[in-house]
Structure 1
Amino acid sequence: MSESSRDTAAGAGWGVAEPGEYKRLMPSKVEKLSWLNPRTLWAARNGVLASWFGDPTGHTRSRWVAQQEAAGAPTDKVIRRADPERFSFMLMGDTGEGDDSEYAVVPGFLKIGRGTDFAVIASDVIYPVGSADDYGTKFFRPYQDYPAPIYAVPGNHDWYEDLGAFMRVFCGNAPALPREAAPRRFTRAWMRSLLWHRSRPGDGQHLDVERQLRSAPEQQAVQPGPYWAIDAGPLRIIGIDTGLLGTIDAQQGAWLREVSQGPRPKILVTGSPLYVDGERHPCTIEGGGGTVDDIVRDPAHHYVAAIGGDIHNYQRYPVQVEGRTIQYVVSGGGGAFMHATHTIPRVDIANVTEKDFRCYPLRGDSLAFYSRLYGRRLRLRRFFTLTEAEAMAVIAERLGIQPTRTPGGPVRVTRRVRLVASLLGAGGRPDRTSRFRLPVRKIYTQLFSPSSATYSPPFFKSFLRLDVSPEAVRVRCFAATGNRAQEIEPPVEDEFVIALT
């Protein structure tokens, strides 16, 4: 087994390393996505409009579901696979940026994915706005050599063009929804409709040609809609669509309660995670239907895990619920820019402590990554740049924990190191410099983090492999750094077993 980031700095991808061969998989010309580009921000405006003028996602989703059912999709939305009692599948989230960080995941994904029966993408198949024109280079091309079906739940970016391209690709080439009558003038809905981003005329003209990259019969899969359940071997995998703002509509909520019945063990796959960054986000069901996490925690439903994307890193919270463990996982490291982990405070939630919590990248590696990023962007490299050992040591000091990775020698945590860590929000702990903290947590998520895409390793990407038997599910989180060493033998960053009996 290769060294992981928990073993050595080289295992994390730091130091002089040979880049991997992922670039040969990429198109000759790659458009680098910048979230600081006003054109990109304007195209992706629908999330903001939904929060200001009301979220139409639930209504639009209901129309998609009704159209699918009218076309013959099963009303229970269950995909019944003929998998044996022992099978395997891959899972990753937030894949579709189409640049180095997405393609760097592919060699390891293909290697570890050998022999698996299918794959699932949890959230944001395509950035920035889910356009059909982007599926060629951001979905069909990178995964053309994965020989099994790929299912998906949409993320907020897939909804920025009302989910049209997602439905065409994953739901049997679903036709576009008929245009509805314009809303009454001078209402919130009318204001929203004036500004709403829609797909361009002629969007996806080459989609049929691009589909040929994944045209083998064994690669085909048709979903009944944006939310679904898969019965595979002894397990039921349930995928829900959390739309633009991280909620589900009442119709989907009623379906989720129905499909969650029975003693069969279940794993939930969701666009927005239920536990993330040391906080619980239970996911509201519209219309007073409670929350998704209420359904997951109900012992009658037999959930063993809930895995979400949206946040672009890996996190795990083993939560004790009435004498059993539910594994709450964030798996959003499939290819988009990296969200920081060093801003996660010391974990103490639902009886999950630092001893139980896992994340990738490690907080120290995340801090070292962002110190280099800010140093480069602000042209203050000598001040901001922290070594991996300095970053690991100051994180341990601020959180009051032992360093996750043992440094190669003594490390001096200087005033400068502490100041940089504080400015970059390390540990999420306020102190005297908090008023000067740079945007790496709340504002950062909307403003700076999306521009943190880099085009040289390490990328700190990740994906999961789940091996299912009647007795247990073995889950492993593998790293993809972009370096050849981790391409040849992807390191395991986390591993756990879920008992099913």
Structure 2
Amino acid sequence: MSSENKKTPLFKLNQPDDNYKFQPLPEPFGEYPYHLKPEMSLPDPHKMVFQVAGDTGGLKSPSFQKLIAEEMGKQYYQAKNPADRPMFLYHVGDIVYHFGEADQYERQFFIPYKDYPSPVYAIAGNHDSDVNSNAKIPYSSLAPFTSVFCGKAPRPVPFGSKLNRMSGMQPHVYWTLQTPLANIIGLHSNVPKFGVITEEQKAWFIEELKQAATEHSDKAIIVCVHHAPYSADFNHSSSLPMINFMAACFETAGVTPDLVLSGHVHNYQRFNKTYANGKTVPFIVCGAGGFDELHWLAESDEVMYTDKSELFDTVTLENACTMQHGFLNLEIEKTEEGHQINGKYYAIPHEGLKPGEDAALFEEFTYFCKHGDKQAVQ
């Protein structure tokens, strides 16, 4: 078998339909259109740094998720310039494996992240959204997740040893985080392997894109969804439902975002997609945050996959980091002409770090979006 990997996204062939796993969504905690605008004082009003990680939960080898949390926190404390400190972590899903159980939050989230210095915001992954039918105490989909991350006001989390832990204030399981330099639109893609998004959420998303476009001269537009639209990995590969969903929404709204972030696939991949209006949008998979099973890329002659699709014609795989755990630092910088997005991906070898060793910088990248760029999808 060839050792070469594909340079484009892939579809995995002959996948069974598992949409029967779809779970109904909980009622929202806040008012439509589900915005959260936390108090956020930037040391430099033209610069904001935050971190991204996904699929952090750990069962067999919890040391990996602990390492990721420690390394992200270390970057906060070691920053020489206050403006370089990450303001928050945006989690792209799969916090608790395998069924989002309340009794697993202590081990998989509360303990590893107890010393993380910044707020944590999150969208739910497929495992967070699933339900363990054999649980001793029955629970509904996303009940533990919303107990930790959602609410009209902070309230005690009803499980875990530290009962004084307070919940977040996210208004719904799909919602927009309004920060000084970016509108971050978080979607909920449910349980099935390639994701499912309801028509109600689709209508909301289109309106959020339109609203974000009205503020685009001041704020970048970032979209987050757990199921990765594009991937070249051997396990999941690309999600046709998410590709079609994004394309339809961008066209209807007449808006293309500046960046799309995902998890689900347990590695790091950075794709560029060029739209008909000439805009290049990075689609970044950031799902190597701690779960012990990592995903490599499919090899070039693997017969279970195909890259033969016109949907991939303007999509290229720019870089990938596989079989290592890692996280992403993003810096949004506002200039007179537009927004610059600077990224740094840090990786940790599967065998861990030596005493005193830091996560290694795997790659740096920069994207620039001029304020005058056309947003309409043509």
TM-score class, shorter: 0.7 to 0.9
Q: TM-score, normalised by structure 2?
A: 0.73
Higher strand share: 2
- Is the 1:282–1:294 Cα contact (8 Å) retained in structure 2? no
Equivalents in 2 of 1:129, 1:317: separation in Å? Answer: 30
- Is the 1:93–1:123 Cα contact (8 Å) retained in structure 2? yes
Q: How does 1:165-204 map to 2 (within 5 A)?
A: 165-172=144-151
Does 2:25 align with 1:51?
no
**Which of 201, 204, 208 lines up with 1:255 in the alignment?**
204
Equivalents in 2 of 1:320, 1:487: separation in Å? Answer: 41
Q: How does 1:252-291 map to 2 (within 5 A)?
A: 252-261=201-210, 262-263=213-214, 264=216, 265-277=220-232, 280-283=238-241, 291=245
Equivalents in 2 of 1:307, 1:360: separation in Å? Answer: 15
* Matching residue of 2:66: 103
- Between the two proteins, the alignment pairs up a number of residues equal to 306
- Is the 1:237–1:267 Cα contact (8 Å) retained in structure 2? yes
**Which of 104, 121, 130 lines up with 1:151 in the alignment?**
121
Q: How does 1:191-230 map to 2 (within 5 A)?
A: 207=159, 209-212=161-164, 221-230=168-177
Does 2:269 align with 1:315?
yes
Equivalents in 2 of 1:344, 1:75: separation in Å? Answer: 45
Once the two structures are TM-superposed, the CA of residue 56 in structure 1 deviates from its matched residue by 4.2
* Matching residue of 1:304: 258
Identity of aligned residues (%): 23
Alpha carbons of 1:154 and 1:319: their partners in 2 closer, same or farther (altered >3 Å)? same
- Is the 2:268–2:321 Cα contact (8 Å) retained in structure 1? yes
Which one-letter code corresponds to 2:225 in the other structure?
T
- Misfit runs of 4+, over 6 Å: none
* Matching residue of 2:12: none
Alpha carbons of 1:479 and 1:487: their partners in 2 closer, same or farther (altered >3 Å)? farther
**Which of 330, 335, 338 lines up with 1:466 in the alignment?**
330
Equivalents in 2 of 1:282, 1:267: separation in Å? Answer: 20
Higher helix share: 1
Does 2:279 align with 1:324?
yes
Once the two structures are TM-superposed, the CA of residue 314 in structure 1 deviates from its matched residue by 0.5
Equivalents in 1 of 2:163, 2:227: separation in Å? Answer: 28
**Which of 42, 46, 50 lines up with 1:89 in the alignment?**
50
Does 2:187 align with 1:240?
yes
Q: Secondary structure at the residue paired with 1:293?
A: helix
Once the two structures are TM-superposed, the CA of residue 327 in structure 1 deviates from its matched residue by 0.2
Equivalents in 2 of 1:141, 1:312: separation in Å? Answer: 22
Equivalents in 2 of 1:144, 1:131: separation in Å? Answer: 19
* Matching residue of 1:483: 352
- Is the 2:222–2:259 Cα contact (8 Å) retained in structure 1? yes
- Is the 1:474–1:496 Cα contact (8 Å) retained in structure 2? yes
Q: Secondary structure at the residue paired with 2:18?
A: helix
Equivalents in 1 of 2:315, 2:52: separation in Å? Answer: 24
Equivalents in 2 of 1:232, 1:266: separation in Å? Answer: 11
* Matching residue of 1:360: 321
* Matching residue of 1:388: none
- Is the 2:227–2:242 Cα contact (8 Å) retained in structure 1? no
Alpha carbons of 1:128 and 1:56: their partners in 2 closer, same or farther (altered >3 Å)? closer
Which one-letter code corresponds to 2:146 in the other structure?
M
Once the two structures are TM-superposed, the CA of residue 116 in structure 1 deviates from its matched residue by 1.3
Equivalents in 2 of 1:111, 1:206: separation in Å? Answer: 29
Equivalents in 1 of 2:249, 2:333: separation in Å? Answer: 24
Q: Name stretches of at least 5 consecutive residues in structure 1 with no aligned partner.
A: 1-47, 175-203, 367-459
Which one-letter code corresponds to 2:159 in the other structure?
L
- Structure with bigger gyration radius: 1
Q: TM-score, normalised by structure 1?
A: 0.56
Q: For each residue in 1:59-92, what CA deviation from the matched residue of structure 2 results, as whole angstroms up to 9, or x when unmatched?
A: x21xx1xx335xxx12111111343442211110
Identify the range of structure 1 (113-122 vs 144-153) with the bigger mean alpha-carbon deviation. Answer: 113-122
- Is the 2:96–2:108 Cα contact (8 Å) retained in structure 1? yes
Once the two structures are TM-superposed, the CA of residue 207 in structure 1 deviates from its matched residue by 1.2
Equivalents in 1 of 2:299, 2:183: separation in Å? Answer: 32
